[in-house]
Amino acid sequence: MYKEGVCLYRNPLRTPEDVKDWRMEGGGRLSFENGSLNLSHEDDGAHFVLWCPETFPDGIVVTWNFYPIEQPGLCMLFFAAAGGKGEDLFDSSLNKRTGSYQEYHSGDINALHLSYFRRKYAEERAFRTCNLRKSRGFHLVAMGADPLPSPEDADSPYCMKLVKVKDYVHFSINGLTVLEWRDDGKTYGPLLHGGKIGLRQMAPMKAAYHDLSVHQAVRR
């Protein structure tokens, strides 16, 4: 339905210089191995979010390469993230966030949450799904089967692609549609539009990322 138009942002995520302006909330650890950003935790309870500093408009296609290294844990992308009254996500008037998930789904911000690698708990590993949630609130709005292997079986980076245009969200991995959803703007609150994107991990997950891009979404 949508293809990539003009490039709004591109980041190879391969050196410390690439993320010098990114903002860490919580106990994340950054390293760079094999040409990728590797994210891990400082201790067993150190969940975290690493935010891209850019604010993006509505109508975007986000792509990135992902590779699971160690589980258990969870990997998530926040998008369309902003203050509950439309403030910039980093506005000083908003409550300080420290990586605890409750601060993101029931605090003073709004966001969409795509959990695409859910292996933190035994029940998640036994029946693997990708989940889309909307906040404020802990609203599960869409679910799809997770095609990603466990780290011991992963053999290459996986191409993740997210489309967000007004009421429409579509997520695919290596070109395979995983989930899509249309927001009626009523059931779970008003439509979310522009905002920031961020990478979230739950300890003790370790994962690699590279080649993040954001393009304008253009109808095919």
Q: Report the C-alpha gap between 106 and 49 in whole angstroms.
A: 16
Query: Tell me: the pLDDT tens digits for 182-198?
Result: 999 999 999 999 999 99
Query: Tell me: the pLDDT tens digits for 165-183?
Result: 999 999 999 999 999 999 9
Confidence of residue 42 (pLDDT cuts 50, 70, 90): confident
pLDDT reading at 41 higher than 70: yes
Sheet holding 129-135, edge to edge: 23-26, 48-51, 196-202, 74-83, 109-118, 129-135, 139-145
Q: Report the C-alpha gap between 40 and 216 in whole angstroms.
A: 31
Non-local CB neighbours of 77 within 8 Å, separated by 6+ positions: 62, 113, 114, 116, 160, 162, 197, 198, 199, 200
What's the number of domains the chain is made of?
1
Residue 7: the pLDDT is 98
Compute the average pLDDT of residues 189-216.
Answer: 97
pLDDT reading at 54 higher than 70: yes
Query: Tell me: the pLDDT tens digits for 88-136?
Result: 999 999 999 999 999 999 999 999 999 999 999 999 999 999 999 999 9
CA angle 208, 210, 214 (to 5 degrees): 130
Instruction: Provide the domain limits for residue 163.
Output: 2-219
Spell out a b/e string for 61-98, using b for 16 or more CB atoms within 10 Å of the CB, else e.
bbbbbbbbbebbbbbbbbbbbbbeeeeebeeeebeebe
Strand 36-41 vs strand 176-182: parallel, antiparallel, or unpaired? unpaired
CATH of the domain at 59: 2.60.120.200
Query: Tell me: the pLDDT tens digits for 56-86?
Result: 999 999 999 999 999 999 999 999 999 999 9
Residue 44: the pLDDT is 64
